[in-house]
Structure 1
Amino acid sequence: MPPSATQPTIERLAGDAVLDVLDTVARLRISVFRAYPYLYDGDLEYERDYLKTYAESKGAVVILARAPSGDVIGASTAAPLSDHQPQLAKAFAENGIDPNEVFYCAESVLLPEWRGYGIGHAFFDEREAAAREQGYSIVSFCGVVRPADHPMKPDDYKPLDGFWTKRGYRVLKGIEAPMSWRDVGDTQETKKPMQFWMRRLDRDDDGVWSAR
């Protein structure tokens, strides 16, 4: 449970307002993503440059969660897919999905002590609201796929598949766009398989989606 019974606050930033929290969000991302399943050995300079794209992209948003003290305890990002990493847009286009119709929910990070407090739902609510306001009917995100027997997998690890499914997202088969980063303990970057999930905001879908 969180360290306080007071509800944290959620705010949505866009444009130049994102620049004011670059370092705070960068450090939070490096800290949270270091844990399994991402095992991301992050770099502050890279994170700053990456997050600047959300200030520069028209339609991009950064959602912050703040503790009652005002400290940032979580952050979530989203942007039009056509403004994000080009390999993602290419993968969708090659599989019959127009990238210009997709709003991409990039990443969410939240300090462990604040999980289970509804903040994850708030992050999706805000990003989906931003998508609707801009006329998008498709929202997508991806998550890293690790082997079931990965040596750094904690015994109590629980994937978020059930949470995403309850939010209306479905696995999208047939689209591959690996991402690369350096794992904790490694000396160089390696490619990671990423599983894409999608949701149509204008209707409910069941089962697994297939490209084309």
Structure 2
Amino acid sequence: MNKPLIVRHLGRRNYLPVWKQMQNFTNERAPQTPDEIWLVEHHPIFTQGQAGKPEHLLDPGVIPVIQTDRGGQVTYHGPGQLVAYLMIDLHRVSLGIRQLVTLIEQSIIDLLKDYGIESSARREAPGVYVDQRKIAALGLRVRRGCSFHGLSLNVNMDLEPFSRINPCGHPGLEVTQLTDLGGRSDLEHVGEQLVRHIEAKLG
């Protein structure tokens, strides 16, 4: 029998405490623990994934850099960006990690389509792109068959810090955001829509 999916709205938080809470949740969860999605907005931070290379940090300046345990390379989080962390028991929903990545990407693509924005995913570079510009990044970790970390979607933010890195390890990669493409600027509304798409695909 499927467990309920709990959605938590965390507001604007520092990255490090939320990361530690994700780790603790995943380490302590039991087979009967309901899955959760956390929606959050972070104060400015660069995060390096497990595959991150120092040369992709071009000029971080005063913005802190944290080495994390998620997959992928360097990305930026800041105000105006929607971050969704997915704590999902993959056995319970009969998904592998690649299938979860595809589910997340397709949920973002469907969300953007709600605003009349055509987008696509790239198998060789996870994330979602609009006209070759990246609008959403993914970085996941799976422990004991359960996922944590998740996705970031640029909604209504200052994109300048992305110029200080090679986003996701790709030199010269341009980024874009929802409001510049005619979409909504309200993170809470966008987050609720995204969760609906994810819930529908998780069944």
- Superposition TM-score, scaled by structure 2 size: 0.31
Greater CA radius of gyration, 1 or 2?
Answer: 1
